[in-house]
Amino acid sequence: MSIVSGPEAHEEDEFRFHTGRQAPTGVQDAIEFVDVHKAFGRNKILRGLNMGIPEGRISMILGPSGTGKSVCIKHMVGLLYPDQGDVIVHGQSVPNMHDDELFEMRKRFGVLFQDGALFGSMNLYDNVAFPLRQHTDKGEDEIAEIVNRRLREVGLANANDKMPNELSGGMRKRAGFARALVLDPDIVLFDEPDSGLDPVRTALLCELIQEIHEENGGTYVVITHDIMSARRVAEHISVLWRGRIVESGPAEQLFESDNPFVRQFLSGDSQGPLGME
C-alpha cells in the first residue's frame, strides 16, 4: 500500500482486482443487474453492479461479509429499489413494476431470508403451509401432505407444532428453507442456507438442494460463506466485493481463476488482497 495516494489513485486501487469478467454460460440470464448503485445514507453498498444469474442453474454469490449480498437478493424481489441502474427478472424491469405486477412476479419466487424470517405468531407447520394457503386452492389434506414431506426432508418432522422462538437458529433456517420451496418456485433465493448448521447437516442440505433442483428445475441463487458448499453444489459463481463483481462464470472456471482476489477467497487464505480492513 502506498502512503501517498490521491483520491483517484485510491479509486483505481480499490477496483484493481475487479476484472468484471463474465465468462459465458451458454444460457440466458434469468436475473440481470445492470449498473446498479445503492447507498444507505452515506454508506455506498452497490457501486455499479453488473451481474447475470443464468437460467436453470444453481448459482452462488460469494463475497466477504458486509459487501451487500443480502441487499442484492432484496433487489431481486423488489424489497429494495436501486438508486440508479436496473434489475431485470425474466426480461421485466423490477423497479418499474406496478404493485400488482410485483405481487404476480413474487409468486414465482421462493426466498429464504438470512435469519429464516419465520412468522413468530404461527407454529412451524402453519409457517410452511402459509404460501400454499395464500396462493393455491389446495385442500387441507393436500397441504398437509406437501408440508409434512418438506419438513421431513429438512429433518423437522417432529417439530410440527413448535413455535419459532422455541427453535435453534439452525432449525429456523431449515424451516425457512422448507417454506421457500413449498410452492415449487421458478426462482429460489437462499441467503446463507448453511450458516449456523453443523458440518454434517450442511453437507446434507447441499445434497438436498441438488436433489430438489434436479427434481423441479428452476433458477437457484445461493449465498454462502462456505467454500465446501460452493464446491459441492455451485454450477455458476459470482464473486462480489466492494459493490461490484470481481469475476463470474461457471464454477470450474472460477476455481481455476488466476485473479488473486478470487484465488484468495475461494481457498480461504489469510494472505492476499482481502484483509480485515
Ligand X SMILES: Nc1ncnc2c1ncn2[C@@H]1O[C@H](COP(=O)(O)OP(=O)(O)OP(=O)(O)O)[C@@H](O)[C@H]1O
Q: Are 58 and 210 in contact (CB under 8 A)?
A: yes
Using rule CB under 6 A, residue 114 touches ligand X: yes
Among 48, 54, 68, 218, binds ligand X (CB under 6 A): 68
Spell out, one character per residue from 107 to 146, where the chain touches another protein: x when CB under 8 A holds, - when not. x-x-x-xxx-xxxx---------xx--xx-----------
Cell of 170: 439452525
Using rule CB under 8 A, residue 81 touches another protein: no
Nearer to Mg ion, 25 or 224 (CB): 224
Shortest distance (Å) from residue 73 CB to ligand X: 8
> Cα dihedral sign for 259, 265, 268, 271?
positive
Among 77, 203, 228, 274, binds another protein (CB under 8 A): 77
Select the span of 59-67, 169-177, 181-189, 207-215 touching ligand X (CB under 6 A): 59-67
Q: For 272, which DSSP code?
A: S
Using rule CB under 6 A, residue 52 touches ligand X: no
Q: Of 145, 200, 195, whose CA–CA distance to 174 is shortest?
A: 195
Nearer to ligand X, 63 or 249 (CB): 63
What is the spatial distance between Cα 268 and Cα 236, in angstroms, rounded to a whole number? 19
| CA contacts within 13 A on the Cβ side of 248 | 26
Shortest distance (Å) from residue 133 CB to ligand X: 29
What is the spatial distance between Cα 227 and Cα 72, in angstroms, rounded to a whole number? 20
Using rule CB under 6 A, residue 193 touches ligand X: no
Rg, Å, the chain Cα set: 19
Using rule CB under 6 A, residue 227 touches ligand X: no
Both ends of the chain: CA-CA distance in Å?
Answer: 13
119 binds, among another protein, Mg ion, ligand X, none (CB under 5 to 8 A by kind): another protein
Binding site for Mg ion (CB under 5 A): 70, 114
Binding site for another protein (CB under 8 A): 74, 77, 79, 99, 103, 106-107, 109, 111, 113-115, 117-120, 130-131, 134-135
